[in-house]
Each structure stands twice: as structure tokens, then as C-alpha cells.
């Protein structure tokens, strides 16, 4: 008896929905113990290894929470790697307006984050918060207010540089 080659795809219109088929769909389960959700987020088992774990979204976030891209590098090596990565990303600068919305989620550069640290602010601080912190700290550490205090003069210069970085970044975003 010949093998059946029956199909529902003959002629027009198609007699079944697009994307439907008779075969069972392969669903990979999350590799986290006792999780039965689909594991659709691959994660490396170890560096330079092609083997992957497959986690659900929640467990992938948990897996990546402590991951540091610059772990084990000196400050100079980290800066060199960041510069090399930035050189490859410059081609995408025209589409940066499609970035994630809101501050504190990757829209600020490393320099801006350092400037916010100097001003004692969190990553989600607004421009008005930064301006208020800059004015307050500048008044406290100004060389005219603390004459002869070298530490205050150094802090004042750092505060001024931090404000310049944040102001320039805000002007660039507005343009």
C-alpha cells in the first residue's frame, strides 16, 4: 500500500491557517530546577564555550543580574574595551532616538553616571535635581567661601566638571 502524501496546502486558498502544522511544536523548558516555563533565553554556561543554558525570562534576569562585562580588567583596559565597543556602535548613532525611554536604564553614558556620583545623585535623577545638587555643592565648596582649603577647591573643580558633563549631555539630547 502506498504511503499517503496528503497535504492541506494544495490550491488556493490554503485550507489551513498559516503557521499551523500537524507536527508537535518543540518547546524547550527552562533549565532552572523546578521551572516549567518555556526556556527561550539562551545564556552561556561558561566563557568561550558554545554550550548554553536556556532560561525563562525571569531566570535569565536572575542569571544576568551579577554579570559584569568589565570584570577582571584594570581601569585602563576597561576604558580601552569601552572605546573599542563604542567605535563599533557609532554606526547606530543615527537611531539612538529609538533607545529605551527614561533615565537610569541605559540612556546615560558612563561619564554621565560618574558625574551623577560626584553630585551624589541616583541614576534616575532629573536635570533639575542635578542643577540643585550642583548649586548646593558649589556654594559649600567654593574657594571664596573656604579660602585656603585645597580639598574644597579640588571638590569644587570636580563638581564643576560634573555639571558641565551633564549640561552638555542634556543639550545634545535636546538637539
Q: What is the pLDDT of residue 156?
A: 92
Residue with cell 500500500: 1
Q: How far apart are CA 167 and CA 161, in angstroms?
A: 10
The one-digit pLDDT tens for each residue of the chain (175 residues) are: 566 666 655 656 656 666 666 666 778 899 988 999 998 888 888 777 788 889 998 898 888 887 777 788 898 998 898 888 777 766 666 555 555 444 455 678 888 888 999 999 988 888 899 999 999 999 999 988 888 889 989 999 999 999 999 999 999 888 7
According to the model, what pLDDT value does residue 69 have?
74
Look at the block and give the residue holding cell 562585562. 69
pTM strictly above 0.85: no
- Which domains does the chain carry? 24-65 (no CATH), 108-175 (1.10.287.110)
pLDDT at 109: 81
Sign (positive or negative) of CA dihedral 53, 58, 61, 66: negative
The pLDDT value recorded for residue 173 is 85
CB 18 within 8 A of CB 8: no
* Per-residue cell: 69: 562585562
Give the per-residue pLDDT at 157.
93
One DSSP character per residue, the chain reads -PPP---S--SSS-SS-TT--SSPPP-PBPSSTT--SB--EEEESSTT---EEEE-HHHHHHHHTT--TTTT--HHHHHHHHHHHHHHHGGGGGGGGGSPSSTTSS-S-HHHHHHHHHHT--TT--HHHHHHHHHHHHHHH-TTTSTT-HHHHHHHHHHHHHHHHHHHHHHHHH-
Choose among 173, 142, 166: nearest CA to 155: 142
Amino acid at each position: 500500500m502506498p504511503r499517503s502524501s496528503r497535504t492541506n496546502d494544495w490550491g488556493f486558498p490554503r485550507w489551513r491557517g498559516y503557521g499551523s502544522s500537524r507536527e508537535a511544536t518543540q518547546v524547550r523548558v527552562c533549565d532552572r530546577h523546578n521551572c516549567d516555563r518555556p526556556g527561550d533565553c539562551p545564556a552561556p554556561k561558561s566563557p568561550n564555550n558554545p554550550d548554553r543554558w536556556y532560561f525563562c525570562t525571569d531566570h535569565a534576569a536572575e542569571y544576568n543580574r551579577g554579570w559584569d562585562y568589565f570584570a577582571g580588567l584594570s581601569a585602563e583596559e576597561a576604558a580601552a574595551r569601552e572605546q573599542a565597543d563604542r567605535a563599533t556602535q557609532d554606526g547606530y548613532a543615527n537611531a539612538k532616538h529609538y533607545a529605551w525611554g527614561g533615565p537610569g536604564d541605559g540612556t546615560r553614558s558612563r561619564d554621565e553616571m560618574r558625574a551623577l556620583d560626584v553630585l551624589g545623585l541616583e541614576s534616575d535623577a532629573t536635570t533639575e535635581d542635578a542643577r540643585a545638587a550642583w548649586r548646593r555643592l558649589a556654594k559649600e565648596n567654593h574657594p571664596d567661601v573656604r579660602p585656603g582649603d585645597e580639598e574644597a577647591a579640588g571638590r569644587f573643580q570636580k563638581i564643576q566638571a560634573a555639571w558641565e558633563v551633564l549640561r552638555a549631555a542634556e543639550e545634545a539630547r535636546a538637539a
